[in-house]
Amino acid sequence: MVTIDTAASKRRPRPHAHTRGYKVFRVVNVTVLILVMITMLYPFLMIVAQSFSSDTAIRSGHVSIFPVGFNLTTYRLVMGDATFWTDYRNTVVYTAVATLIAIVLTTCYAYVISKKHLRGRGVMIGIAVFTMFFNGGLIPNYILITSIGFRNTIWAIVLPNAISVFNLLVMKSFFENLPLELMEAAQIDGLNTYGILWYIVLPLSKAVLATMVLFYAVSFWNSWFSAFLYMDKSELFPVTVYLRNLIAGASSASSSGAGATDVAQVSANIQSVTMVLTVLPILCIYPFVQRYFVSGVMLGSVKG
Amino acid sequence: MSSTTDSGRSVTATGSGEKTRSAKYGRKKGSGRVTWSAALRKDWQLYSLAILPLMFFLIFRYLPMMGNIIAFRKFRPGGSIFGEKWVGLSYFSLFLNDSTFRMVFGNTLVLGVLTLIVCFPLPIILALMLNELRSNAFKRLIQSISYLPHFLSIVIIAGMLFQFLSLQGTVNQIITGFGGTAISFLSLPQWFRTIYVSSEAWQTIGWGTILYLAALTTVDEQLYEAARLDGANRWQQTWHVTLPGIRPTMMTLLILNTGTFMAVGFEKILLLYNPLTYPTADVLSTYLYRVGLLSNNFSYAAAIGLFESVIGLTLILSSNAISKRVAGASLW
C-alpha cells in the first residue's frame, strides 16, 4: 500500500501540466470538489442545526445549517422518553449479539474454505456464492421465520443475516494469504485444527477481524426492516424502527392536510434529535475506523 | 470437409473425456486426492467447523429458495410452508394480466435503468477528479467526507430527505427565496424518480470511488510517458491511457450493478413512497410486499418474487457472459 502511494505521488508533476488550459481545469476541479464536499456534509449539518432549533424557527423556514432559537428542550424531551431508551438499548443488544454470532460463523466457514487441499471445498464455496445471486425472496423468508416461531424474538433479527457472503470472501482471501509454514510448524508441535485457528491464525488476523466486526456492527446497527417485519411490540423495536415510526407518522400527518401541520412540525424537531442520537455512535467511531473499512473493501476486491 | 473435422473433433472429445474420467478414478484410488472417508478421517475437525455455517445456509438461504414452490401451490397461512395443493402457473398468469403488475414492472425498469445510468459513471468521474489533485491532505479530506453517507441507516437517509424536501425545508426555502411557491415534493409522482436517483447518487458516489482510486494507482507510468512522446495532452492521456487502465474494474462493477438493478432499493422506496406517489414509485418488491404481507396473498406475491429473482439471476449471468466476450473481464 505505502509503496504504491509514494509511486503515485512521485509521478504527479507531468509535463504539459503548466499549459493555461490545465491551470483553468485545476481551478474548476477544486471548485467542483469543494461543492461535492458541501453537498455531502449539508444534510448532516441541517439535522444538527434543526435538533438545536426552536419549533417556530423551523416552521417559518429559517433554519439551514445554523441553529435558530438555540435550545436543548427537544433533547430533554426525547431523552426523557422511556420507549426511546428501551429501543436504543435493544439496538445495542441486537447489534452485539448479532455481531458476535456473525463473526464466529463467518470466521469458521472462511477458515474452512480457505484450505486449498480440502475435499469438497469447491462445493462449499459454491453453496455460499450462489446465494449472492439468487435468494428465496421476501415471502418465503417471511413464512419460514414466522413458522419456526422467531416472531418477536431476537433470533428473527440475528440469525437470518448471520453470514454476509461478501465478508466471508474477504476473510477467505485473507486466510489464504497467511504463511502456510506457520500452521505446519504448529501442527508438528502437536496443535490440532482448533488450536491452530485459535492460537496461530486468529492472533495474526486481528486487523481483518476488526474490519469484519465493524462491517457487521454497522450493518446491524443500521438495519430496521427485519425488526419492522417480525416485531409487534414497541418495547422490542430497535431505535431505527422507533425513528421510522416517527417519520412515517409525521409524513402521513403532513400529507393529510393543513390541520395536521402542527403535529408534523413538532416532530421535525424530535425527528432531528432522534436522528442525531442514532448516528452519533457511528460518527464517533468513524474517523478512527474508516481506514479499516477501506482496506476491507480492497481485500474483498482482490479476488471476489 | 467440414463433416470430417466435426467427427474428428468429436472423437478427440470423447477420448479426452474418458481420459479425465480415468484420471479422476485413478486419483481417487491414489494418495494425491483422497477419498471422502479418508478426507473425513484426516480433516474431520475442519469439517466440524463448517457444520453450523452450512446449517445457516441450508435453513436461511436454501429452504426459502425451496419455499418458492408456493408460487405454484395454494398456500394457507398456518399450513405447510410448502403449500397445500398444486395450481400450476395460475398465479403467474394472474399477475401477467394484472395492470398494476405491469405498472410496477415498468417503474422497476425505469428506476433501475436511471440509477444505473446516473450512479455508475459518477464514482469514475469523482475518482478521476480526485486523482488530479496535488494536495494529498485535501484529497483525503474529501474521501473521508464522501464515504460518510455509506454508513448511514436508510431510515436516517429517508428522515433527512423528508426534512430537506418538506414545505419548510431547504429546497423550498430556496424556491420561495426566488419568489416561487413551495412544492410538496414527496407527494408528487413526477418528482419521485428525481428524488430517488439523486439521493442514491449522494449515498453511493463516494464509497464507489474506492476501487477506482486503487485501480488508478496501478496504471503503468511508462504508458503516460509514451503517450506524451506521441504528443497527447492531458485529456487524451486520460482517454487513451487512464480509462483503458481501469477498464477491468469498470466492467466488474458494471456487471455487479446490472445484476442487482432489478432489486432497486426496496427499503428506501418503502420508506419514501405513499399512495400519492405509487404511479412512479411503486416497484415489484414493494408491490409484492403489500400484496403478500398486508393483504395475505402469499402465493401470488411469491410468484412475483420468484419472477423478479429469476430475472435478476438471468441479468447477472448474461451481463457476465457479455463482458467476458467483449472485454475479457468477468466475475468468475
The predicted-structure confidence for A28-59, as pLDDT tens digits, reads as follows: 999 999 999 999 999 999 999 988 888 777 77
- SS3 assignment, position B74: strand
- How far apart are alpha carbons A31 and A38 in whole angstroms? 11
Residues 6+ apart with CB under 8 A from B32: none
Residue B73 backbone dihedrals phi, psi, to 5 degrees: -130, 155
> What is the per-residue pLDDT for B33?
63
Residue in A closest to B317 by C-alpha? A133
Burial of B88 (0-12, 13-18, 19+ CB in 10 A): exposed
Contacts of A224 in chain B (CB under 8 A): 153-155, 267
Q: Do B202 and A223 touch (CB under 8 A)?
A: no
Q: What are phi and psi of B74, to 5 degrees?
A: -75, 135
Q: What's the mean pLDDT in B242-258?
A: 85
What is the model's pLDDT at position A250?
65
| Pairwise pLDDT comparison (A37 vs A71), residue with the higher score | A37
Nearest Cα residue in chain B from A276: B156
- Give me B104's grid cell: 410496477
Single pTM value for the model: 0.84
Instruction: Using CA atoms of B270, B183, B193, A215 in order, give the dihedral in degrees to the nearest 10.
Output: -50
pLDDT of residue B27: 43
More confident residue, A261 or B150: B150
Of residues A221, A211, A241, the one with CA closest to residue A281:
A221
Is B221 in the A-facing interface, judged by CB distances under 8 Å? yes
Q: Are residues B42 and B188 in the same domain?
A: no
The candidate with the shortest Cα–Cα distance to A271, out of B125, B325, B168, is B168
User: Do B207 and B68 fall into the same domain?
Assistant: no
The answer to whether domain A81-304 has CATH 1.10.3720.10 is yes
From B54, B76, B98, the end of a domain falls on B76
Q: Is the dihedral of CA A230, A231, A232, A237 positive or negative?
A: negative
Give the nearest partner residue to B285 out of A17, A138, A264, using CB atoms.
A138
Residue scoring higher pLDDT (B130 or A21): B130
Q: What cell does A178 get?
A: 497467511
Q: What is the CATH number of the domain that holds B202?
A: 1.10.3720.10
pLDDT tens-digit series, residues A194-210: 999 998 899 999 888 98
Residue B82 within any structural domain of the chain: no
| H-state helical runs in B71-153 | 90-96, 99-119, 121-131, 136-147
Q: Where are the beta strands (DSSP E) in chain B?
A: 73-74, 85-86
Which domain range does residue B98 map to? 90-326
Residue at B331 is within a domain: no
What ipTM is given for this predicted complex?
A: 0.86
B239 occurs within a structural domain: yes
Same domain flag for B125 and B256: yes
Phi, psi at A27, each rounded to 5°: -65, -45
Residues B114 and B202 grouped into a single domain: yes
Of B156, B186, B301, the CB nearest to A251: B186
Within-domain flag for B156: yes
Contact between chains at A14 and B224 (C-beta distance less than 8 A): yes
CB contact under 8 A, A247 and B298: no
- Beta strands of A23-85 (E only): which ranges? none
Question: Where are chain A's structural domains?
Answer: 1-71, 81-304
Residue B328 touches partner A, C-beta closer than 8 Å:
no
Residues on chain B touching A33 (C-beta within 8 angstroms): 129-130, 133, 138, 142
Phi, psi of B314 (to 5 degrees): -60, -45
Torsion of CA B223, B227, B228, B230, to 10 degrees: 140
Residue B272 inside a domain? The answer is yes
Residue B302 grid cell: 411469491
Contact A266, A137 (CB under 8 A): no
The residue among B28, B37, B61, B145 with the most chain A CBs within 10 A of its CB, best to mutate, is: B61
Is the same domain home to B113 and B67?
no
Please write the tens of the pLDDT for every residue from B17-75.
Answer: 334 444 444 444 444 567 888 888 888 899 999 999 999 999 999 999 998 888 888 88
Yes or no, beta carbons of A36 and B146 under 8 Å apart:
yes
How high does pLDDT run on average in chain B?
Answer: 83
> According to the model, what pLDDT value does residue B32 have?
52
Decide if B69 is inside a domain: yes
Burial class from Cβ neighbours inside 10 Å (0-12, 13-18, 19+) for residue A21 reads: exposed
Domain count, chain B: 2
Q: Is residue B265 part of a domain?
A: yes
Cell of B322: 457479455
B99 with B61, same domain?
no
Task: Give residue B107's pLDDT.
Answer: 93
Is B81 part of a structural domain of the chain? no
Q: Which chain A residues are closer than 8 Å to B162 by Cβ?
A: 247, 250-251, 271
Per-residue pLDDT for A241 more than 90?
yes
Which B residues, 125 through 184, put their C-beta within 8 Å of a C-beta on chain A?
A: 126, 129-130, 132-134, 136, 138, 141-142, 144-149, 151-156, 158-160, 162-164, 166-170, 172-173, 176, 184
Same domain, B200 and B257: yes
Among candidate residues B94, B71, B93, the one with its CA nearest the CA of residue B82: B71
CB proximity B321 to A under 8 Å: no
